[in-house]
Structure 1
Amino acid sequence: MTKKKVVVIGAGGRDLHNFNIALKNNPEVEVVAFLFTQIPGIGSRRCPPAFTGEKYPGGIPIYSIDMLPNIVKTYGVEEVILSLSDLTYEELGKIISYVISVGCDFKILGLRSTMLDSVKPVIAVTATKTGAGKSTISRVIVKELMSRGIKAAVVRHPMVYGDIEQSLVQVFRSIEDLDKYKLTVEEREELEPHLELGVAVLLGVNYTKIILEAERIGDVILWDGGNNDWPFFRPWYWITVTDSMRPSIEVGTFPGEVNIRMSDAVIITKVSSASSDNTKRIVDNIRKINPSAHIVKAELAVKVDKPELVVRKRVIVVEDAPTVTHGNAPYGAGYIAAKKYNAEIVNPKKYAVGIFKNIYEQYPHIDSVVPSLGYTEEQLKHLEQMLNEIDADAVLIATPAKLDRILSINKPIVRVTWDLIVVEGPTIKDLMDEFLSRQGPKQI
């Protein structure tokens, strides 16, 4: 039997999971390459045999998405499987057109094909777009469960930016573990807050093994989503977070709209920063596609740990990189905090070096903030150089990662944090009551 030659488009997360679950042992297909996008500065490499298995003894090469036409010609590719999130429908349409124009069929694997079942209760937190406040909601849920004596094992959507072979199954229990595995800034941003609560976080590449370890560690499993992807584990209860500052993303992104349609509850964040018309429109959009979901209106109230270093001072604002890059937000909590405390925000663009010059060109909506880009040692070096060269009184850091642990910054550091305040609708406690009353996973 002739095997269908397939390419998988992704970003080192969903793509590897889909391969492991649906393609790795499929006798009818041969995956000839992975194509990565969304990860600045990550070049060509190879997915190792330790993960790809006996069918692929030499591993599988990883290339950039712009190499698709050459790969199709070289390998005779017939089908492209999209395993990527955080896309607007316009971006999704462009990828579909790109794939079809080089002569390939286009495919997306759905929920039933890619979800794993757990023997433990699973609660999933997903989003409609990066930067909506998903991680904050996850931490509040963990605290609520802890207050009830329930131990949660947090399983994070994969972020495979380093050595894939060393990332098959990773269990983090302390901040020191982050240094041991030499994690990127982007990974630290998601893991540090949970670890500071004393909660184990699991992630990696092989989620068929990760789910077993999570079941051993926790009374319940909390799926902490990445980008706006749907969960790898079939949830008993599903919460999606959307952002009132970006109305229409709840029905204008893929697979963000999938999450809205499937959710038991939708939390609309940053409502005090948006107009009432925007919030109403978001609620109406949610009601049209998921009339049974609980809707929670909430605020993410920002605060700083050293206000005396911010009030009427000149500050550099460092924001979570995914939020302001492929999340398409012009700014985040750092900018809001600077405005709240009447600080002068120093424009960093003229100080940009290395990859940061490319970032400001690629994402022109980023104007007055510095993305916390740190996928590689070189990027960290350029970030440190920028922050040290900018003439300012302080650095306002609005990423959960404590950058001073990995960078030598020559200015005072001010940390931005934010608290969830429910303005209208069920509280997190109410949602957890409903979750804990469930007797099994959602029907999909």
Structure 2
Amino acid sequence: MDPEMDHGERILILGAAGRDYHTFNTLYRASAGPDTVVGFTHAASQIPVIASTRYPPSLAGPRYPRGLPIWGEGELEAVVAREGVTRAVLAYSDLSYSDVMALAARARAAAASFELLRPEAGMLRSQRPVLAVTATRTGCGKSQVCGLAIEAARAAGLVPVVIRHPMPYGVLEEQAVQRFETPADLERHNVTLEEREEYEQHLARGVVVYAGVDYAAILAAAEAECDVVIADGGNNDVPFFKPDLWVCVADPFRPRAQETHYPGDANFRRAGVIVVNKANTAPKEGLAAVAASAARLNPSARLIATASEVTVACPAALRGRRVVVLEDGPTLTHGGLATGAGFIAASKYGAQVVDPRPHFVGALAATLKAFPHIGPVVPAMGYSEQQAADLATTLAAVPADAILCGSPIDLARALGAARLGGRPVVQASYGLDPLEVGGGAELAAELGAFFGRAAAARAAAAE
């Protein structure tokens, strides 16, 4: 404890290497008030591996010349006692209400108060129009909506840039402001598999992606080269930027998520447009439940149901063949789903799914133990080199004819073709068809109208 700063509230920020840093940067770093931040805790249940154990002085600012420590969330009570913490601030997402209250109970039992910040806390104002794409849970299909938005912005004659929710799991000083334009930038920034899952699909559309740690600096850099900002949210977090149009994507396979998980509940209640995705494969009762929630919790929002169509380039490569299915990692782990797009593709195209779980090794075996609901698929866990190695070993050990990749990563590029047992990788793609009669066309029109207004305002300002 630093006696020179022993006054006011002593704040501990509970996080998972993302929103927590943004909360500190925007609310506390330059604050002249009496409160002091003592450090962060890290939730290994969501991000099992991070490289940094200290928030560096270069990002912490002059008030914190030694930076700030990052402890494991399991040390919460000990940190509160040792550091004299008086307030614990929750700053991460995709938590069930029971998980939120469990953290509150732990903090309060340790003699600290517990705070949930309002959505506007830390929201930055942009000089460009902002479309914020959020969700009720991770794995709802935000990236598909972002893809449609990118095309709608371009159709309006605008230059979009995507700013992605933070995923700084490496050396924080080197990740303050990250700009991705080509696949080579992924290598230069030494990104994890989880980051590839989010960035590669946008790069394939030819759009620049920003991410990192310091989102005020990130926003300024993005504004210098774009006409509109598409804020691609992470998990079910609320936007980092004040949105001009707030979109929330809901999942009818988890139809009560907007009433059971924090802070996606705020997205659902605050959004101007609620997109009910996966309508082509979801049960009717799930669709009805989301619609009923919208009518009760946010009746002024526009409700649009969309189809999430899963396709592969060569269906013949799957029919009748044995496949091991790789899925997006967070969708299966803290997202709570048993399977994902890859499993849907296997069923659609007549492939035989080989259960990979008996072949899990190392970090993957630990993941299955922590999340036993995971079905006969492999979560793309790769927060570290060891996790990536365990993933490659597992995939190579499964007796299958091909790997069906339901994650948007370029698997052969990320892991190396030689490590995959010499088997072909069949990529499953998923997206919203803007020409689809009904939901897709309706959402495309909604986004087109938004970007049309932005283009008109830009033209008027130039006159």
Name the TM-score, length of structure 1 as normaliser.
0.96
Cα distance in 1 for residues equivalent to 2:78 and 2:99: 21
Alignment coverage as a number of residue pairs: 440
Which residue is equivalent to 1:35? Answer: 41
Q: Is the 8 A contact 2:411 2:425 kept in 1?
A: no
Cα distance in 2 for residues equivalent to 1:72 and 1:427: 47
2:265 corresponds, among 228, 242, 257, to 257
Cα distance in 1 for residues equivalent to 2:285 and 2:360: 38
Superimposed CA distance per residue, residues 222-279 of structure 1 (whole angstroms, 9 cap, x where no aligned partner):
1010000011110111111011111111222111110011111011011122222221
Which residue is equivalent to 2:461? Answer: none
1:128 corresponds, among 127, 136, 153, to 136
Q: Which moved more, 1:400-409 or 1:213-222?
A: 400-409
Q: Is the 8 A contact 1:298 1:423 kept in 2?
A: no
Please state if 1:320 is matched with 2:325. no
1:2 corresponds, among 2, 7, 30, to 7
In the TM superposition, what is the alpha-carbon distance from 1:76 to its structure 2 partner? 1.2
Q: State how 1:273-288 maps to structure 2 within 5 Å.
A: 273-288=281-296
In the TM superposition, what is the alpha-carbon distance from 1:419 to its structure 2 partner? 2.6
Q: State how 1:25-424 maps to structure 2 within 5 Å.
A: 25-26=30-31, 27-37=33-43, 38-42=46-50, 45-408=53-416, 409-410=420-421, 411-421=423-433, 424=438
Cα distance in 2 for residues equivalent to 1:232 and 1:51: 18
In the TM superposition, what is the alpha-carbon distance from 1:434 to its structure 2 partner? 3.6
Question: Tell me, which stretches of 5 or more residues in structure 1 are unaligned?
Answer: none
Cα distance in 1 for residues equivalent to 2:155 and 2:323: 37
Cα distance in 2 for residues equivalent to 1:223 and 1:44: 26
Q: Is the 8 A contact 1:43 1:63 kept in 2?
A: no
Cα distance in 1 for residues equivalent to 2:183 and 2:155: 22
Q: Which moved more, 1:274-283 or 1:361-370?
A: 274-283
In the TM superposition, what is the alpha-carbon distance from 1:43 to its structure 2 partner? 6.7
Q: Is the 8 A contact 1:237 1:435 kept in 2?
A: no
Give the RMSD, CA atoms, in angstroms. 1.6
Cα distance in 1 for residues equivalent to 2:11 and 2:408: 38
Which residue is equivalent to 2:460? Answer: none
Q: Which moved more, 1:122-131 or 1:247-256?
A: 247-256
Q: Is the 8 A contact 2:156 2:451 kept in 1?
A: no
Q: Which moved more, 1:265-274 or 1:13-22?
A: 265-274
Shift in alpha-carbon separation, 1:376–1:400, aligned structure 2, 3 A: same
Which residue is equivalent to 1:433? Answer: 449
In the TM superposition, what is the alpha-carbon distance from 1:388 to its structure 2 partner? 0.9
Cα distance in 2 for residues equivalent to 1:32 and 1:2: 12
Shift in alpha-carbon separation, 1:78–1:232, aligned structure 2, 3 A: same
1:14 corresponds, among 10, 19, 38, to 19
Moved over 6 A (4+): none
Superimposed CA distance per residue, residues 150-183 of structure 1 (whole angstroms, 9 cap, x where no aligned partner):
1101111100111110011111111100000000
Q: Is the 8 A contact 2:182 2:203 kept in 1?
A: yes
SS in structure 1 opposite 2:324?
Answer: strand
Cα distance in 1 for residues equivalent to 2:143 and 2:52: 30
Cα distance in 2 for residues equivalent to 1:394 and 1:112: 47
Q: Which moved more, 1:229-238 or 1:423-432?
A: 423-432
Superimposed CA distance per residue, residues 101-160 of structure 1 (whole angstroms, 9 cap, x where no aligned partner):
221100122223210101111111001100000011101110121123211011111001
In the TM superposition, what is the alpha-carbon distance from 1:435 to its structure 2 partner? 5.0
Amino acid at match of 1:419: G
SS in structure 2 opposite 1:42?
Answer: coil
